[in-house]
Amino acid sequence: MSVVKVIELLAQSEQSWEDATKKALQEASRTIRGIKSIYVKDFQAIVEDGQITHYRVNVKVSFTVDSSGGGGSGEPAG
């Protein structure tokens, strides 16, 4: 039986919401294996002097958890 765990992350970019989403996935991938999906829950933009200066996303990352106890998916990478 497969178990999926979901974590919530916040990420920010000076370029775009897409870039912020990629940064969230990149950071999660440093310590989590078996990532299956990323869902953007919320968008936010920081405005200074009438211009968007930062794009922020709140994402949910889903990954499989290895319940066999032998490492693998869901265990820290590296």
**pLDDT tens-digit map of 56-66:** 999 999 999 87
What's the one-letter identity of residue 62? S
CB 17 within 8 A of CB 43: yes
Q: Chain-centre distance of CA 25, in angstroms?
A: 4
**Alpha-carbon span 21 to 16, nearest angstrom:** 9
CB 33 within 8 A of CB 44: no
Domain coordinates of the chain in residue numbers?
A: 3-65
Average pLDDT of the residues in 42-48 = 97
Q: Chain-centre distance of CA 32, in angstroms?
A: 10
**Alpha-carbon span 47 to 69, nearest angstrom:** 47
pTM higher than 0.85? no
Domain 3-65 -> CATH class: alpha beta
pLDDT of residue 66: 77
